[in-house]
Amino acid sequence: MFGRGILGLSAFTGAVSAASLSNYCTSAYATSVLPVQDLGLGVTIDASSVSAILTTNKSVSSDWYEDAVIDYCNITFAYSHNGIANDAVHVSYLIPPPEKFLNRYVSTGGGGLAINSGLSFSPVGIISGAVSGITDGGFGNFNTQYDKVFLLANHTVNWQATYMFGYQAHHELATLGKQFTRNFFNVSDSQKIYSYYQGCSEGGREGWSQIQRFADQFDGLVTGAPALRFSHLQTNHLSGGVIENAIGYFPPPCELEKIVNLTIAACDGLDGKADGVVARSDLCKLSFDYNSTIGQPYYCPASKGGFPGASSSVRRRQFPGFNPTPEQNGTITAEGAAVASAFTNGLIDAKGKRIYINPQPGSFFADATNQFNKETGKWEPNLSGLGPQYITRYLYLEQKDSLDSFENITADTLRDWMALGMQKYQDTLQTTWPDLNPFKTAGGKVILVHGEADSAIPAASSIHYYDAVRSTMYDGLSYDESIAAMDEFYRLYIVPGGSHCGSNRDQPGGGWPATTLQTVIKWVEDGVAPETLDNTGDINVLCKWPLRPLWSNNGTQFDCVYDSKSTASWTYTFDAFKYPVY
C-alpha cells in the first residue's frame, strides 16, 4: 500500500539521480553546510575532517526494508566535546539524490555492543527520501564497539563512553543530523524536517533512550526487540547454565533442538492453522507438556560450528557462534525435558519469587546451549559471551571476557547481579523510564516489533515494558481505556514465529515486517494510525497488542482476538526485587 512505487527508487532513475547528486557530493559543499549553528550540544565540528563519497546503483537487502537499488552520498565528519581532550566522535550521513529528498531525517542504531549497524540498517533512510545518520559514539571508528573502550583500566569506568553509548551519542547524531539536513538542502526554517529512527536489539534500546529523554527528538520510531532492562537482560544470558546446574544435567544441544522441533510441531495448530508457525506461543505455554517429548530420538551430525537458526547480521553479531560439535545421537531424557521446562518458566529465586523471564516455547534455547569439552568428553555451559562478559567487565570492572566457573552461581546470585547492574547503570544503560508523557505530548509515535520466538531477548520483555508505561501513565483508567490511550502514540506488534530481529529459520512462514518505517511515516505525516502491521509472512497483517492472532474455519479465516488468559500468560511481576522493575 505504501511501497516502492511511492517512496522507492528504481534502477531506471539511478544514472539520472547520480548526476545531480554528484554536484553536491563534494567535501567543499558539505563543509559549507556543516551544522555549526549553536544547537546547545557543547560540541565543536572539525571542518578539516569532512569527506564525501558518492555511491551509485547499490543493491541493498534486509528483513528491515524492501529490496532496493540506491544512490547516496556518504558524508562523514568528526566533532569533539568542548572541554574534553583528545575527543573525536565520527558521524556518517548518507544523503539521497535531491529529487528523492522528502524533508526527512532518519537515525539508525546498533546491535550487541555496537552503536551502529553499518549498511544493514542505514539504507532504510535513503529508501524513505531521508538523510540517514549513524555514529561511532566516539569509540574510535565506525567498527569499534563500546566494550573495547568501556574500561580505561581495571576498575576505572569510561563514563564518557558509557553516557555516549547510553543515550548521548544518539542525541548528538540526530540533533546535528536534522540541522545538517536543513542546511544541505536549503530547507527554510518555516518548513518541517520530519525526524525518524529505526533500530533493533541494542539499536532498539538506543531508540528508547531518546524517547525517554528527548521528547521531540524524533517524530516517529521503529524499535525492534529493544535491549531494555539492560542489567536483567545481560545477566539472564546465564540463566540456562544456572538452571542446568540446579537440575544437574547439561543436555547436548541436539536434544534441546529436537525439543524445539517437537514443541513447534505440537503447538503449530493451536492458532487454528497447521502452517509450521506457532502464532500462539501463549496457548503453547499454557498447554504443552515437555514431558511428552521424553523418549523421542534425536540425531545431529557433527558440525563445524556457527549459530543455529542464524539468518540476520544483527543476530550473528550478538552470538558470534559456537565451536564445532561432535555427532549427537540419543533419545530425549526426563532431565532434558526438565531443563526445557524450567528454562521456559524463567528464573525463580530460592524463596520462590520471580527474578526474570525467558523466551516463549518454540524458541531456540540459545541461553541453554552447551559447549563440548573435548578433554572431558562432556557438555558444559559456555563461560563466554555477552552474559559472562557483562559480569566480569560491567559489574566486576575487569578486562576479562569470561567467567572462570559456574560453581556456586545460583539463581539468587543472578538476582543480586541484576540488582547491582540496575543500580550502577540506572541512568545510562537500563533504559526503562516509564513516564512517556513528554513524548506523547510532543506528538511522537512509536511502533515496537518483537519476534514471538526471539531467543535472545524474550518477547515478554517488550510486553512488560509496555505494561509498565501503561500502568504508570494511565493508572486511573480501565484496561480498555488505557490501551486506547496507548494507541495514540505507542503500538506493539508481536511477529508470530519471528526470531531475534528477523525471520526465523525454524518457522520460515512467520516472515518479518519490512515496511514498518513507511507505516510510521504515514502515521506521523498523514495521521493514518496502523490498526494492523504489514508483514511478509503467512500472516500478512500483524495484530496490535493485546490482540492475538487466531485462524478459524480450518485456517481460512483470520482474526485478531482478545483473550484474557493469553494476556495473563504474558504478564509477570518480578517480585524477587523489592522495588519496581519496569
Ligand X SMILES: *[C@@H]1O[C@H](CO)[C@@H](O)[C@H](O)[C@H]1NC(C)=O
Contact 65, 90 (CB under 8 A): no
**Which of 62, 135, 223, 382: binder of ligand X (CB under 6 A)?**
382
Verify binding: residue 147, Ca ion, rule CB under 5 A: no
**Burial tier of 108 (Cβ tally within 10 Å: 0-12, 13-18, 19+):** buried
Q: Residue 379 is placed in which grid cell?
A: 557438555
Which string of x and - marks every residue 484-523 that binds ligand X (by CB under 6 A)?
----------------------x-----------------
Compute the distance between CA of residue 574 and CA of residue 582 in angstroms, rounded to an integer. 9
Tell me, yes or no, if 500 is annotated catalytic: yes
Compute the distance between CA of residue 361 and CA of residue 268 in angstroms, rounded to an integer. 11
Beta partners for residue 541, in sequence order: 534
In sequence order, which residues have a C-beta less than 8 Å from that of residue 521 and are 6 or more positions away? 2, 104, 128, 194, 196, 220
* Helix axis angle, 239-247 to 411-424, nearest 10°: 160
Q: Which of residues 171-210 bind ligand X (CB under 6 A)?
A: 185-186
Compute the distance between CA of residue 111 and CA of residue 442 in angstroms, rounded to an integer. 28
Handedness of CA 238, 510, 545, 209 (dihedral sign): positive
Q: Residue 43 CB, nearest distance to ligand X (Å)?
A: 19
Name which of ligand X, Ca ion, none residue 271 binds, using a CB cut-off of 5 to 8 Å depending on partner kind.
Ca ion
**Which of 99, 216, 289, 427: binder of ligand X (CB under 6 A)?**
289
Contact 211, 432 (CB under 8 A): no
Kindly list the distances between the CA atom of residue 314 and the CA atoms of 144, 281, 333, in Å, as whole numbers in the listed order: 15, 24, 33
Q: Residue 563 CB, nearest distance to Ca ion (Å)?
A: 16
Verify binding: residue 506, Ca ion, rule CB under 5 A: no
**Which of 50, 95, 277, 347: binder of Ca ion (CB under 5 A)?**
277
**Which of 39, 84, 152, 334: binder of ligand X (CB under 6 A)?**
334
Tell me, yes or no, if 201 is annotated catalytic: yes
- Identify the active-site residue in 90, 500, 503, 538: 500
Contact 437, 473 (CB under 8 A): yes
Name which of ligand X, Ca ion, none residue 221 binds, using a CB cut-off of 5 to 8 Å depending on partner kind.
none
Name which of Ca ion, ligand X, none residue 228 binds, using a CB cut-off of 5 to 8 Å depending on partner kind.
none
Q: How far apart are the first and last CA of the chain?
A: 36
Contact 240, 381 (CB under 8 A): yes
Q: Residue 114 is placed in which grid cell?
A: 555496537
Q: Residue 250 CB, nearest distance to ligand X (Å)?
A: 13
Stretch of 9-17, 426-434, 470-478, 486-494 lying at the interface with ligand X (CB under 6 A): 9-17
- Identify the active-site residue in 201, 209, 462, 499: 201
Would you call 182 helix, strand, or coil by DSSP?
A: helix
Q: Residue 423 CB, nearest distance to Ca ion (Å)?
A: 42
Q: Which of residues 80-139 bind ligand X (CB under 6 A)?
A: 92, 94, 98, 118-119, 122
Active site residues: 201, 454, 500
Positions in the binding site for ligand X (CB under 6 A): 11, 14-15, 24, 55, 57, 59, 74, 76, 92, 94, 98, 118-119, 122, 142, 154, 185-186, 254, 257-258, 261, 289, 291, 298-300, 319-323, 329, 334, 371, 382, 384-385, 398-400, 405, 407-408, 506, 554-555
* Interface positions with Ca ion (CB under 5 A): 268, 271, 273, 275, 277
